[in-house]
Structure 1
Amino acid sequence: MYTGRTEKPCCLCGRPETAHRIDIPPRAVQLLKHSEPIAWRDIEGEVSLHFCADDWHTVRDLVLETGMSPLSRCNAARASFVLREDFEALLNATREEPDQRPLEAEMLNDARETLERFGDGDDLVETRDVVEARIVSWALEDLGSPKRPVS
């Protein structure tokens, strides 16, 4: 019996023990390694990437010190996400593609708020939140404006 998301291994090295997690918007899956076969438009909710303690230090340094995104090195097969049910196959009915723009807008707004608070010297902003905010911002910037869902 499936009871929801299961924890995933480190998206960089595959170790089963993970120490940190960041969430990215569904469209950002396209930026992950080996993402071609994934129907990212059918992802419901955010995509979670897990990192072991060793790789988290590398990711943190890459983002905060070098200003580079780690997404191209993250294996999409190790990401955690939920695909919408295949109603077309089950019920022989067509269902509209989900509109992920509200989720993207919310995640981008949260990222901007976190980066603004960090820039203002807020000591309560966690390093993990800053790393996630930069990755989300960069990913959505790289992908450009989302296309309208097909009606």
Structure 2
Amino acid sequence: MYTGKTEQPCCLCGNPDTESRLDLPPRAVQLLDNSGPIAWQDIVGEVSIHFCASDWETVVDLVLDAGMSPLGRCNAARADFDLREDFEALLNDVRDEPDQTPLEREMRAESERVIEAYDEDDHLDVRDLVEARVISWAFEDLGPDEDRVAADD
């Protein structure tokens, strides 16, 4: 049985031939179009969205030139993520709600590092910068995770 990431269609147009992927924190699924019925708290790991070649060019221009996030136009039904219930069904075991704080902390720190180091680091490409900016904006839009903040008090 294969349990790794599978290729998804373009989250903007549905084209099955994709060229680029962005990995986002689980809470960012709330910013995607049609995400209402998704319990983001039950997502295990990151959320991946894919883009076809022509839409990727548009996303790069939107993020780097216009300073806007594409997430509101991306269809959550075309995103790739794993839900805790899927693991429970597979393993016949009930699991606790995943603690996404370490993943968010890591993604936030990596995004900040990429944005700061992009001009000097030859190993970073445009995709890295686009992903870092989209993640940073997602955290700004979402603010602190109120459930986690209340639990920490």
Q: Return the TM-score normalized by structure 2.
A: 0.88
- Aligned residue identity for 1:141: E
Partner in structure 1 of residue 51 of structure 2: 51
Structure 1: how far apart are the matches of 2:123 and 2:43?
32
Partner in structure 1 of residue 98 of structure 2: 98
What percentage of residue pairs aligned between the two structures are identical?
63
Partner in structure 2 of residue 129 of structure 1: 128
Partner in structure 2 of residue 61 of structure 1: 61
Displacement after TM superposition at 1:123 (Å): 3.2
Displacement after TM superposition at 1:8 (Å): 0.3
Structure 2: how far apart are the matches of 1:37 and 1:5?
22
Displacement after TM superposition at 1:62 (Å): 0.2
Structure 1: how far apart are the matches of 2:105 and 2:116?
16
Structure 2: how far apart are the matches of 1:5 and 1:76?
16
Displacement after TM superposition at 1:98 (Å): 1.2
Q: Return the TM-score normalized by structure 1.
A: 0.89
Q: Report the secondary structure of 2:111's partner residue.
A: helix
Displacement after TM superposition at 1:39 (Å): 1.1
- Aligned structure 1 segments of 4 or more residues deviating by more than 2 angstroms: 1-5, 85-88, 120-124
Displacement after TM superposition at 1:2 (Å): 4.9
Is 1:145–2:144 an aligned residue pair?
A: yes
Gaps of 5+ in 1: none
Displacement after TM superposition at 1:4 (Å): 3.1
- Aligned residue identity for 1:107: M
Partner in structure 1 of residue 4 of structure 2: 4
- Indicate the RMSD between aligned Cα atoms, in angstroms: 2.1
Gaps of 5+ in 2: none
